[in-house]
Every structure is written in structure tokens, then in C-alpha cells.
Amino acid sequence: MPAPRRVHELSEAEVSELDHIYRTTNSSDMRTRCQAVLLSNEGYSTPEVAKLVRFSEDTVLYWIDRYDVEGVAGLEDRPRSGRPPKS
């Protein structure tokens, strides 16, 4: 059985940055993504994190992988094609 996947061990600076974004962002998506990464760092398994943040396990792993590769920038929404939403 493969070892459970978690975010890499975060430094104090990374935890502080994620915590700051979690507390100050107006984006609920960004807040939830930060929370998922922080919970993974605290030792919660992927299924536990998924249940707590109400995402699928695949989605939790997607955001953890993006954070591992890109850092905080990986948690941000990427530009989408098509017509911009109405204000």
C-alpha cells in the first residue's frame, strides 16, 4: 500500500503566509485551499482533509500538488477563457 500523500513539511514562514492569507482573503476558494494545505501539514490524512473542507479527495490532492510545485501562487485561480463575468 503506498504511503499517504501529504504536503511537504512546511516551514514556519510558509505556515505564517498561508495563515495570513487564510485570515485576510476575501476569496472563499483561496481560504479553503489554504486550509486544506495547512490541515495536511498538521498530519490530517487526505480523506480527513476532504471531509473537513468539503472537497473530494482528488481535489485536495490537486491543490496540495499545485502548492508543492508553485507555492501560494499555485492556490490562486488561473485565468479562464471566454467572456468575463458580468459585474
Q: Which of 41, 33, 43 is nearest to 8 (CA)?
A: 41
The pLDDT assigned to 3 comes to 54
How far apart CA 75 and CA 87 sit, in angstroms, is 23
CATH class of the domain at 28-74: mainly alpha
pLDDT of residue 77: 84
Per residue of the chain (87 residues), give pLDDT as tens.
455 688 888 899 999 999 999 999 999 999 999 999 999 999 999 999 999 999 999 999 999 999 999 999 999 988 888 887 786
Task: Say what the pTM is.
Answer: 0.85
